């Protein structure tokens, strides 16, 4: 597996990382713990060094899973986690708001260190921008944690360009994690140019469109009520049907390149910038291997232009989040 550096930070990771959320959270009931430990270790054996989790995934159980699976492999891996949600004090499964107050960040980090079984968190993201806490205070709190040796690198998630600049002025931002793929291209307008200017890496989550870009879904696909896609406007039967045009495009390119639609979607992201590192999630070994294989798919400038021309004519139907969640992005 090739390596990439996240911007100018010097943090080097595998060109494709692994998003761990779906192993415990959001995509139906939690998966079998031993199977997921085995999958995480298989990822390391295949050259994946970058693993993404968060305290809110579960809550807590995803960090515990990642900590247990990777505990003997600390020197080989980079673990990223996130703070910023206010969790139910009664231990319920739902978050109840945002909380990026400095004292809460420090508390969250102590919990994450224990669950991940590490002395230092490699990359710590603010999960969503908290409108009630100045971003300078957030960056300052993380700066103190870096000085204390508890955190190595600072990241933001779904932040707007102006917020990234303000945070970066207090504590250099190593990476931004936001949704980016052939069907969610919002970051291209302002965010990606800002990252390029400041030397910040980009970690696209949902690089396969929450599974849609694998080409395995259509209007008849049903989602369990515990699968959060059942609440997303882009996953209604009407939207799934309308958006098949994008899958047809991916299928055509995949055929020419002797690859799968998922590999084309990931390879396209890798081709955008050398400091982009997608983190597709999976719970299956054959999908992990397929995703890793995307790093070997290369495009000529002409092929990239062809994809750009064809995809720019496709209007994706459906909002990516319900209004409440959409309001938490781009702040």
Q: In a structure prediction context, what are the per-residue pLDDT tens digits for the chain, which is 331 residues long?
A: 999 999 999 999 999 999 999 999 999 899 999 999 999 999 999 999 999 999 999 999 999 999 999 999 999 999 999 999 999 888 777 899 999 999 999 999 999 999 999 999 999 999 999 999 999 999 999 999 999 999 999 999 999 999 999 999 999 999 999 999 999 999 999 999 999 999 999 999 999 999 999 999 999 999 999 999 999 999 999 999 999 999 999 999 999 999 999 999 999 999 999 999 999 999 999 999 999 999 999 999 999 999 999 999 999 999 999 999 999 999 9
Answer whether the bond into residue 59 is a cis peptide, omega within 30°.
Answer: yes
> Which secondary structure element, helix H or strand E, spans residue 37, and what is its range?
helix 33-45
Strands 173-179 and 151-157: parallel
CB contact at 8 A, 239 and 311: no
- pLDDT for 105: 98
Among candidates 16, 52, 57, 20, which has minimal Cα distance to 36? 20
CB contact at 8 A, 18 and 43: yes
DSSP string, 190-230: THHHHHHHHT-EEEEESTTGGGGGGT---TT----TTBGGG
- pLDDT for 222: 95
- Is 331 a domain residue? no
Average pLDDT, the chain: 97
- pLDDT for 91: 78
C-alpha to C-alpha distances, 166 to 81, 135, 160, 192, 329, nearest whole angstrom? 21, 7, 10, 16, 16
- Is 233 a domain residue? yes
As for how many domains the chain has, the answer is: 1
* Catalytic member of 57, 125, 180, 205: 57
Beta-strand ranges (E) seen in the chain are: 3-5, 12-14, 18-19, 50-52, 78-83, 85-87, 95-98, 121-126, 151-157, 173-179, 201-205
Domain that holds residue 284: 3-326
Among candidates 115, 61, 67, 59, which has minimal Cα distance to 90? 59
Separation between Cα atoms, residue 202 and residue 59, nearest integer Å: 25
- Is 264 a domain residue? yes
- pLDDT for 88: 87
- Is 130 a domain residue? yes
What CATH number is associated with residue 242?
3.20.20.100
- pLDDT for 173: 98
- Is 243 a domain residue? yes
- pLDDT for 326: 96
Q: What is the pLDDT of residues 42-92, one digit of tens each?
A: 999 999 999 999 999 999 999 999 999 999 999 999 999 999 999 988 877
Quick check: is 57 catalytic?
Answer: yes
Separation between Cα atoms, residue 180 and residue 92, nearest integer Å: 30
């Amino acid at each position: 597996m090739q390596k990439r550096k996240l911007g100018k930070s010097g943090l080097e990771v595998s060109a494709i990382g692994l998003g761990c959320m779906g192993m415990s959270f959001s995509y139906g009931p939690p998966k079998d713990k031993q199977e997921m430990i085995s999958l995480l270790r298989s990822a390391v054996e295949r050259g994946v060094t970058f693993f993404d989790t968060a305290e809110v995934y579960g809550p807590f159980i995803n960090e515990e899973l990642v900590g247990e699976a990777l505990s003997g492999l600390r020197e080989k891996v980079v673990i990223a986690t996130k703070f910023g949600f206010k969790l139910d004090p009664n231990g319920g499964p739902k978050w109840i708001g945002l909380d990026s107050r400095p004292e809460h960040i420090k508390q969250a980090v102590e919990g994450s260190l224990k669950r991940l079984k590490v002395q230092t968190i490699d990359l710590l993201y603010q999960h969503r921008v908290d409108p009630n806490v100045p971003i300078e205070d957030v960056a300052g709190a993380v700066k103190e944690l870096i000085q204390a040796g508890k955190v190595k690198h600072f990241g933001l998630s779904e932040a707007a360009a102006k917020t990234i600049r303000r945070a970066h002025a207090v504590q250099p931002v190593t990476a931004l994690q936001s949704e980016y793929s052939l069907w969610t291209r919002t970051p291209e307008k302002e965010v990606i140019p800002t990252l390029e200017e400041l030397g910040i890496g980009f970690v696209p989550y949902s690089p396969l469109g929450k599974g849609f870009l694998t080409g395995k879904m259509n209007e008849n696909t049903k989602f369990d009520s515990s699968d959060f896609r059942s609440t997303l406007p882009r996953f209604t039967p009407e939207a799934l049907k309308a958006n098949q045009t994008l899958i047809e495009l991916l299928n055509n390119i995949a055929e020419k390149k002797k690859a799968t639609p998922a590999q084309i979607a990931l390879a396209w992201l890798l081709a955008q910038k050398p400091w982009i590192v997608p983190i597709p999630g999976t719970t299956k070994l054959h999908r992990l291997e397929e995703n890793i294989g995307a790093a070997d798919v290369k495009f000529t400038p002409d092929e990239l232009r062809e994809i750009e021309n064809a995809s720019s004519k496709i209007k994706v139907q459906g909002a990516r989040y319900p209004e409440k969640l959409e309001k938490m992005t781009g702040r």
